[in-house]
Structure 1
Amino acid sequence: MRALLVGGGRPGLALTRALTADGHAVRFVTRHAAFGPEIEAAGGETYIGDPDRIGSLRYALDNVTVLLWLLGRAPDGDLHGSRLTMMMERTIDTTVRGMVYEGTAAGAAEVARMADYNEIPHAVLTTPREDEAAWVAAVLEAIDGVLAAPRGAAS
């Protein structure tokens, strides 16, 4: 399985370590190349892009199984609205088989709408990042859930 991790911050590094320890590949999106060595030390592949500029993520979905849009700490706005919608539109006719979202209630509703339209299972993460171990465990459980669900079934 290859995950595309958009957001996640420093806890995303712990998630990357957990996924790569289980033999999965992680493509970790960052706006800053200086974060690349930390991503690579965690076992991930650095992808320079900006979720505020969906075009910069054009090739990020190549060979991705699960899209992780983990921007729960980002302010309410386009990242949970129009940018999220545009990104999910790009999952049509790709290898993406599931999506995990962390963000706002409005964003979660948009994920449900778009995931149903795209016929991909999805999960909405509500575990706070303050307990990093619990957050990582929740993301891993969500990934397992969307991968276990039949395509076309929303979770």
Structure 2
Amino acid sequence: MTEGLFILTTIFVAYVVYVVVNDQRATAKTAMPQVKPEKQEAAAAQTLTEAAPKKEAPATTARRTAAKPTTPRKAATPTPEPKVEEASKGELRNPATGEVTSAHSNYRFTKRWVKEALVAEGLLEKIYKNNELDAAAEAKIKEAVTKLLAMDKYRA
């Protein structure tokens, strides 16, 4: 009895996976943009090459190359530039380690060293826990973070 139940369960799970995968494929096909104009141009170029006499071989190759978009090969791929940290608005730099992080608008997602810097600079009296956050505390924190962003020591 349990073997039969196991087999039926396995078949059901396989069916569900099959339906989900096929549904994802169907939505992916409909989400892809249709590229009909290129196909029509290719078909038109092909009919032109078939209708042209055999003597005009250079003209037909010119039409074929005109119909196909030219894409550069691997030689034209640019080499990646080395990353240079750029200072942007809303980023803080840890003076001890040089780590650059964004100043989140939500205190819960702010890194630990930013919270410690707020307390060390005297902008906040303590590091708030998540359950201690209320509207008044959030207002204090936002004001303190803007002051910390203005300091040259923490500017990215």
More strand by share: 1
TM-score strictly above 0.5? no
In the superposition, the TM-score normalised over structure 2's length comes to 0.22
Q: Structure with the greater relative contact order (CA < 8 A, sep ≥ 6): 1 or 2?
A: 1
Larger radius of gyration: 2
In the superposition, the TM-score normalised over structure 1's length comes to 0.23
